[in-house]
Amino acid sequence: MQIIHATVDRVIYYNEDNHYCVLRCKKKFENIDIVGNLINPKPGVELKVHGEWIVDPKFGKQFNSQFIEICLPKDNESIIKYLSSGRIKGIGPSIAKLIVDTFKEKTLNIINDDPNKLLKVDGIGKKKIKEITDSLKKDLVSQESLVFLQSLGISVKKSEKIFSFYGAECINIIKNNPYQLSYDLIGFGFLICDQIAISLGVKPDSSIRINAGIIYVLEEDSQFGHCWSKKNDLIQKVSKKINQPVEVIDQQLKTQIEQIYQWNHNGTEAVGLKNIISVEKDIAHLVSNRKKFKFQPNKAVITKTDLNPTQEQIDCVKKAMQLHTCVITGGPGVGKTTLVKLILQSLLSNGKRVLLCAPTGRAAKRLFESTGFESKTIHRLLEYDPITKGFKKNQHHPLSIDTLIVDESSMVDIHLFHSLIKSIPQHAQLLLVGDVDQLPSIGPGAVLQDLIFAYPTNVIRLTHVFRQAASSSIVSNAHNINNGKLPIKNDQSDCFIIDIQDNKKIQDTIVDLVANRIPSKFKFNPLQDIQVLTPTKKGLLGSYNLNKVLANQLNPNPVSIIDYNDQRFATGDKVIVQRNNYEKDVFNGDIGTIQFLENNTFTIDFNGKLVKYKHNELDELSLAYAITIHKSQGSEYPVVVMPISMSHFMMLNKNLIYTGLTRAKQLAVIITQKKAMIMSIKVNASPQRLTLLKDLLTDLKSTNFNFETT
């Protein structure tokens, strides 16, 4: 690697998103072009550049930098340019010239070592001196930290993120424990930190590395829904991840590790992250305390209505009115929505203050459409604050309600349920509605299952399929799958099953169905009405690839295109929101269409609401011609097209197929390899999640609560 010194003469190109730049610089008596990453480059700044000379086919000879250091200038003209570059607050070109005219080449030393001398310069007072000295110190520390971080192979953008979090202590913190990054910042997992640690000379068997490996595996397990791990399994996994003997891992677990709990769980040695176990313990206490509250039952009021309730439904309403905490569960076509309407009618007749909510924006919208009653996402109900990343509604500022109805509650993980239960006043009734046989929450825990296990008498389980729903093959096949039976083929029904063995032919069939056959035969709009659901993101039949081929087929000649993170975003494309954005008033799972692109900003139509997304915000979006079945939870679509292949074998289970099929309202088409379908219905969901909540609730119910950790 070569090192050259040069001064920025002109910024030819600068990308604010990743700080990539092309700089025309002066090196002695020649002009050179330097390419690389530098935060906010300005003319006049002196650089020390580490890199290599290259010859670009289009732009010719350039110096390709690995990382760039900003050097303190030495001559008067360069000092003026540096001070007035915008890097130092409180100094513009005129004040910079006055300072340098007064102190010459000693200017920077004066600002650092004897700043009060600046009082000699007209227009500078003590307040201005503090602003200048603080800014210069921050800039110097920032440059030192950024060079240090980039020398470890960290990108400029990530280096900037690290420095903004740790500030002046950045270098010391990372030198002492590079794995601290994985605990404090999103985007810095164990593997990245491990590479940094190797660069810093951290020994492979050091305690900080083993601790980080243990926490990494526990976090990995939590991403599969587990709240704790079996100690023996954990040791084996950590040993493989960090390539250390199991004895070393076992010995480290005998020491006190700040972030974890260890305990005996029904005869099994268990290990869990404190931030997860503490949440489960608090949920258990909050739910148990509700049981101690003397609840005043509501009177069931069944008025004349076009709902025509059965006696079973009337009995269910009466039971729900008596319960302080109630779970209503059942599959498709069993009347959950009708029961919620009847309960809502009774509660309003009792003069109760009722609120409805659901985990996602689409689920909340569906709840509103089915009940005619306002419904919000849980985040909006609890008034999520993006600045504090917490909720304004909590135990200190609870919801003003008598009853809260939560739909699609199987999707709620322990963290969201914890926030929800804290916000409900003790007197208020809680009604949880959901299909326990659908996929569990993406986050850790199995809240709905655990509540049903601990409080079976508080459960209303609907099983009777009503005649209108029974005529639907979507409904009957969903129940077949849930009962471990193969779906029945019927070419005259609303659920078609196509057997194809070759994955490429399955892909081509999906494209043909969406673009041609379904719109032609059933008059559905391929963009608005048809949704492809797939078990995985990766692979030929994963959402990434299917989005590419469907976008090329359904939107072949867009007016404008932007490439971002290996995805093509173009005018006319169908996109889905990946995470809630309260400033834009759009939510995870919302689907829209890109209308036009102007000044690197897309305008997207979400059901008549136009929302702007800048180029650097596109990581909040993904193409939505095809989405994963997990992503579809809480949503319904007129038409669902779903591939089931052995290429998905790691994900296949009956709950996944059941969840995907029950997203379809009018038409479902399953393209499957028969072996994959047989395998799916034989696998009874993903492995049982390791949770603590059901045991805690059971123990508290019997007043035998005894949870001791080390």
DSSP secondary structure code for residue 514 in this structure: I
Residue 357's nearest CA partner among 373, 376, 340 is 376
Supply the CATH classification number for the domain 471-671.
Answer: 3.40.50.300
Quote the pLDDT of residue 597. 87
Across-strand partners of 613?
Answer: 602
Poorest-pLDDT segment among 271-280, 406-415, 562-571 = 562-571
257 backbone dihedrals φ, ψ, rounded to 5°:
-110, 120
Q: Which amino acid is at 64?
A: N
Lowest mean pLDDT among 79-93, 272-286, 535-549: 79-93
Domains 1-150 and 471-671 share a fold: no
Whether this model's pTM surpasses 0.95: no
User: DSSP label at 616?
Assistant: G
Residue 588's pLDDT is what? 79
Is the pLDDT at 504 greater than 70? The verdict is yes
What is the model's pLDDT at position 659?
94
Under the banding of pLDDT at 50, 70 and 90, the label for residue 463 is: confident
pLDDT score at 396: 95
Q: Is residue 564 within 8 Å of 673, Cβ to Cβ?
A: no
**Which residue in 402, 290, 414, 322 sits closest to 355, CA to CA?**
402
Nearest to 440 by CA among 413, 419, 421, 463: 413
pLDDT for the residue numbered 531: 98
| CB-based burial label for 529 (10 Å; 0-12, 13-18, 19+) | middle
Tell me the percentage of the chain whose pLDDT exceeds 90: 62
Map residue 60 onto helix, strand or coil. strand
**Res. 562 pLDDT band, cuts 50 70 90:** confident
Strand partners, 133: none
Contact criterion met (CB below 8 Å) for 633 and 538: no
Joined together, the tokens standing for residue 590 give 């919302």
Q: How buried is 306 (Cβ within 10 angstroms: 0-12 exposed, 13-18 middle, 19+ buried)?
A: exposed
Tokens of 594: 């890109």
CA distance 68 to 54: 16
CA-CA distance, 228 to 257, in Å (whole number)?
A: 15
Fold classification of 1-150 (topology level): OB fold (Dihydrolipoamide Acetyltransferase, E2P) (2.40.50)
Which CATH number describes the domain made up of 160-278? 1.10.10.2220
**pLDDT for the residue 685:** 63
- Counts of helices then strands in the chain (DSSP H, E): 27, 28
Neighbours of 701 (CB within 10 A): 15
The yes-or-no verdict on residue 556 having pLDDT over 80 is yes
Radius of gyration of the chain (CA): 30
For 168, the token pair is 């002046």
Query: What pLDDT sits at residue 89?
Result: 83
How many angstroms separate the Cα of 635 from the Cα of each of 83, 340, 381, 478?
A: 56, 18, 19, 16
CB atoms within 10 A of CB 613: 23
Weakest-pLDDT range from 65-74, 274-283, 537-546, 695-704? 695-704
The three-class DSSP label of residue 511 is helix
Among 3-17, 217-231, 460-474, which range has the highest average pLDDT?
Answer: 217-231
Please give the full DSSP string across 515-528, using - where no structure is assigned: IIIHHHHH---TTT
Q: What pLDDT does 540 receive?
A: 97
Cα separation of 697 and 290, whole Å? 12
Q: Quick check: 702 pLDDT over 70?
A: no
Helices within 523-623 (DSSP H only): 543-554
With 0-12 / 13-18 / 19 or more C-beta atoms within 10 angstroms meaning exposed / middle / buried, residue 389 is: exposed
Is residue 313 a contact partner of residue 335, using CB atoms and an 8 Å limit? yes
User: How far is C-alpha 680 from the chain's CA centre?
Assistant: 27
Distance CA 332, CA 99 (A): 76
**Rounded distance, CA 171 to CA 163, Å?**
9
**Partners of residue 330 on adjacent β-strands:** 462
Phi, psi for residue 709 in degrees, rounded to 5: -125, 165
> What is the model's pLDDT at position 146?
84
Question: Nearest to residue 212, comparing CAs of 233, 185, 238?
Answer: 238
Confirm if 383 and 411 have CB atoms less than 8 A apart: no
Residue 219 neighbours by CB under 8 Å, 6+ apart: 273
3-state helix, strand and coil shares in percent for the chain, rounded to the nearest 5: 45, 25, 35
Domain locations in the chain?
1-150, 160-278, 289-465, 471-671
Give the Cα separation of 622 and 620 in Å (integer). 7
Is 113 buried (19+), middle (13-18) or exposed (0-12) by CB count in 10 A? Answer: exposed
3-class DSSP state for residue 192? helix
Q: Which helix (H) or strand (E) holds 498?
A: strand 495-499
Task: Check: CB of residue 59 under 8 Å from CB of residue 13.
Answer: no
CA proximity to 228, closest of 703, 691, 697 = 691
The reported pLDDT for the residue numbered 355 is 98
d(CA 449, CA 688): 11
Sheet with strand 459-462: strands edge to edge? 375-377, 354-358, 403-406, 429-434, 325-330, 459-462
**Are 534 and 628 a contacting pair, CB within 8 Å?**
yes
Distance CA 611, CA 634 (A): 23
Tokens 């491990």 -> residue: 194
Residues whose CB falls within 8 Å of the CB of residue 685, separated by 6 or more in sequence, listed in order: 440, 653, 654, 655
Answer whether residue 383 shows pLDDT above 90.
yes
**Which residues are registered as beta bridge partners of 68?**
49
Pairing of strands 530-534, 375-377: unpaired
pLDDT category of residue 15 using cuts at 50, 70 and 90: confident
Looking at domain 289-465, its CATH class is alpha beta
Closest CA to 272 of 224, 213, 211, 231: 231
pLDDT digits (tens, 9 = 90+) for 145-190: 888 888 888 888 888 889 989 988 999 999 999 999 999 998 899 9
pLDDT, tens digit (0-9, with 9 covering 90-100), for 415-462:
999 999 999 999 999 999 999 999 889 899 999 999 999 999 999 999
pLDDT at 234: 97
Rounded (5°) CA angle 330-359-271: 90
Residue 394's nearest CA partner among 412, 409, 406, 382 is 382
Task: Return mean pLDDT, the chain.
Answer: 90
Residue-level pLDDT at 500: 96
Per-residue H/E/C for 327-339: EEEECCCCCHHHH
Provide the pairing of β-strand 626-628 with 637-644.
unpaired
* Cα end-to-end distance, the chain, whole Å: 51
Give the least confident one: 104-118, 318-332, 394-408, 458-472: 458-472
* Residue 188 phi, psi dihedral angles, 5° rounding: -125, 85
